[in-house]
Amino acid sequence: MSIRKERPARAGIVACLAAVAAVLLLPGAAQASSQDRFEKQFVSYLTEMGKVAASVEATPAGRAAFDQLGMDPARGAARARLEVRSMSSAELAVLREAFSTIPAWRDQPDMLRQAVGGAVGKRGTRRLKAVGPDCDPGPGTPLGITDFYIAAGVALGLEAVHEAIPDDILTSPAQIAAATAWGLAAGAALTLEGLNAVEAECNDAKLEDFIRTNLDAKVSSRVSQTTFNAFEAKFDTFNAAFTTLSALVNTRLDVAVSTRASQVSLDSLTTFVNTRLDVAVSTRASQASVDALAATVDEQGALALRMQIEADLTDPDSHHVALFQLPAAQDGYLELTREIVVDTIVRMQAAGQSVGNAAKHLASGDAAADAGSYKRAYDWYANAYRAAAGAGGGPN
C-alpha cells in the first residue's frame, strides 16, 4: 500500500522539475529563435543588395564607380553572407543592435532598386561621346538629382551603422557585413551621381544651342520683308543724295574758290547742302524707332527663355537644366524661375482658376533657397508651377 502511494509522489516531483526547467530555458530558446530570424533576414538583405549592385556594375558607369571604391560587389556580398552565417550569437547580437538604428533597413534594397532602375535599363551601356548639341547622355537619372539623393541617403545610413560598431575582435565579422552593405549602396550612389553630372552637362550644351538658335530666329522674324525693303529704299535715296553732293562739291572746288564763286554762289551752295542733309537725315530711323526695335529684341529673348523655363517646370520627368537651378550670383536663373512661378499663380488666381497647393510648395522652395539648397528649391518651384498650371490645379 505504501509503495503505490510513493510512485504517484515521485511522478509529481518529476513533472514539477520539468516545468521549472522549461521556464528557465524559455528565454534562451526565444532569444535563439530571434537570432535565427535575424540571421535569415540579413542574409536575404545582403542577397538583394548584391543583385542591385550587380545591375549597376553591368553598366560602364557602374564598373567605374566600383573600381573607384576598389570593390567587387559580387565577391563582397558573397563573403558577407558567409560571415553572417558563421557568426556566434554574441556577434549576431552586435550586428543586430547596430542595424536596429535603421528601422527600415530591410526596405533598403527596394529603395536602391527603384533609384537605379531607370538609369541601368536597356540604354545603360550608352556613353557620352562629346559635349555638344548632338551629345547623348545615355539613360541619365529619370528623377534627376533625386535618384542620387535616395541612394546617397541609404549609403549614409549604412556608413553610420558601420561606424557605430566597435572595432575589436568580437565585432570583426559584424564590421565586414556592415562595411559590405555600405559599399554596395555607395557604389550605386556614385554611379547615379556620375550619370546625373553627364546628363546635366549634355543638357546644358543642348540648351545653349537651343537658345542661340532660337534667339536668332526670333530676332530675324521681327522685321518683315516690306519694312526691310522700305528701309533699304531710304538708304539708297541717301546714298544718291550724298553722291550728287559729292559730285557738286568736287565740281565747284576743282579750281580756287576765289576765282569761281561769289558770295551769292557760296550762299546757294550752303543752302543746297543743308537742304540735302536735312532730307537725308530725315530718311534715317528715329531714336524712338531704334529703341522700339531694341525693346522688341529684348522682349522676344526674354519670352524664349521663359518658355524654356516653363517647359522644364511642366514635365516632372524632365532632366532639369542646371542654369535654371542656380541663383543669379552663379549666373543662373533660379530667381527668374521663382518670378515666373509667382506670376503664373497670380494670373491663374486672377482668372478664378484653382492653384492647389502652389503657395505651400512656393514657400517650401523659398525655404530651401534660403538654406542654399538650390536644386531642392527648384524642385519645389516646379511642384508649385504644376499645381497652378496643371489640370484642376495640378497635384497637391
Write down which residue in 171, 202, 233 finishes a domain. Answer: 202
Domain assignment present for 53? yes
- Looking at the structure, tell me whether residues 60 and 187 fall in a common domain: yes
- Residue 354 is part of which domain span? 317-396
CA angle 11, 15, 17 (to 5 degrees): 120
The reported pLDDT for the residue numbered 3 is 39
Domain assignment present for 173? yes
- Looking at the structure, tell me whether residues 66 and 195 fall in a common domain: yes
Domain assignment present for 10? no
Domain assignment present for 388? yes
Write down which residue in 202, 233, 257 finishes a domain. Answer: 202
C-beta separation of 130 from 167 below 8 A: no
The reported pLDDT for the residue numbered 386 is 92
Count how many domains the chain has.
Answer: 2
Write down which residue in 173, 202, 231 finishes a domain. Answer: 202
- Looking at the structure, tell me whether residues 197 and 334 fall in a common domain: no
The reported pLDDT for the residue numbered 6 is 45
pLDDT tens, 279-329?
555 555 567 776 776 777 678 888 888 988 888 888 777 667 888 899 999
Domain assignment present for 82? yes
Distance CA 278, CA 303 (A): 39
Domain assignment present for 390? yes
- Looking at the structure, tell me whether residues 59 and 185 fall in a common domain: yes
Spell out, as residue ranges, where the chain has pLDDT lower than 50.
1-8, 11, 13-26, 122-128
pLDDT tens, 23-73?
444 455 566 688 889 889 999 999 999 998 998 888 888 889 889 988 899
> How buried is residue 196: exposed, middle or buried, by Cβ count under 10 Å (0-12/13-18/19+)?
buried
Domain assignment present for 385? yes
